[in-house]
Amino acid sequence: MTQTFTGNASYLNNGNDLIVVLGHGQLARMMYLGATQLGLNIIAVDATNRVCVNAVDKTVLDLTVEQAFEACKAITSEFEHLPKDLVKQAEDSGKFKPNAQAIAAGADRIVEKSLLEKLDIPNCPHQIINSVSDLQNAYQNLGPKLILKTSRDGYDGYGQWRIFSEQDLAVVCGDLVDFDFEHMPLVAEQCILFEREISLLGVTDIHGEHKYYPLTENHHGDGQLVLSLAPAPNLTPELQQRAEAIHKTMAEALNYCGVLAIELFQTGDQLLVNEIAPRVHNSGHWTQQGCAASQFENHIRAVAGLPLGDTSAQHLVAMVNYVGEPKPSSELLKLDNAHLHWYDKSVRSKRKMGHINLVADSVEELQKLIGQVHDLLPESLATNLAEIKE
């Protein structure tokens, strides 16, 4: 039975210390933990039923969304796939950071692609798909390998088709005969042969000051992030500067405030933007142990109008996602410099249950730790990690 907290006066009377987060998942939970050390409080909003809840234990609060919006210092979001009317309500308050424009760019690949083209930022060659014949045409223009994506609501490999042959094309075209393209246009992207995927997390304060975390190298399995290495191996000042220039261009165009994540494909010296996330991001979880101020703390600092914290890396960190499996045994915690972050969610296939940050001062030490964690993981997770090349 859901418990209800009735003492809402403390929230309403301390609005200068209150931040409202749209969404009530693990990112809101970690923002809460980052905010408490700053003397701030977080209320999370279940975006589906518009109920205010405690961001950690999900206790329902006797507080309406309208009351929370009126009382708070700032409103932010843990993810971009939000009901449009809720986004408008937040935007109309004048407290929403980042703004509705940024949320729209992260939520809709067509809007995102349009923004990238407008800003002349390199990205994968692509074509908007509004019919099966559009897809056939795109295959001729962009093939022989395409990634077909829904324009909205796709994440962690969902809402994607891989078309790597004429046979694949025929199968997907058959699957899409009755697809509602008017409701959900698709985006076909040329499958780029890239050297690696990297991501840049930067944070912008209310005065437009930017700070950047070191680039992170990301490895995936089954469409989901498996491992992040930070700072990215073989990171040069030139590569970092090139990524920061892209980030700054986008942040300034969006009049951004908060943490913005940009996923990039590296091909030689060239960087192509894969996608953006107007929020804290899975590939930035390493900052909890790797930096003086984590991405969660810095996001709250930014939207609350506080000075930004240090974003330089203090250690080498490997972040290992823990997906679709029960909580690991305490054997994991016996490892020196292994830090478990558990989200306290019910187990479900492909669901992110937690992550493990591994901290080291040398590449050799970090690789040893990764190997030790691999040996303690359930088979499904160990297999994905083993397939990643060192």
Question: d(Cα 240, Cα 110) in Å, to the nearest integer?
Answer: 27
pTM, rounded to two decimals: 0.94
CA 75 from centre of chain? 18
**Token pair recorded at residue 224:** 């989901």
Q: What is the pLDDT along the chain (390 residues), one digit of tens a residue?
A: 344 444 555 556 555 799 999 999 999 999 999 999 999 999 999 999 999 999 999 999 999 999 999 999 999 999 999 999 999 999 999 999 999 999 999 999 999 999 999 999 999 999 999 999 999 999 999 989 999 999 987 665 567 899 999 999 999 999 999 999 999 999 999 999 999 999 999 999 999 999 999 999 999 988 899 999 999 999 999 999 999 999 999 999 999 999 999 999 999 889 999 999 999 999 999 999 999 999 999 999 999 999 999 999 999 999 999 999 999 989 999 999 999 999 999 999 999 999 999 999 999 999 999 999 999 999 989 988 877 744
Burial track 296-319 (b if 16+ CB lie within 10 A, e otherwise): bbbbbbbbbeeebbebebebbbbb
**Token pair recorded at residue 148:** 């077909």
All domains in the chain, ordered by first residue = 4-96 (3.40.50), 125-190 (3.30.1490.20), 196-386 (3.30.470.20)
Angle at 240 between CA 123 and CA 275, to 5 degrees: 30
Per-residue model confidence as pLDDT tens digits over 294-337: 999 999 999 999 999 999 999 999 999 999 999 998 999 999 99
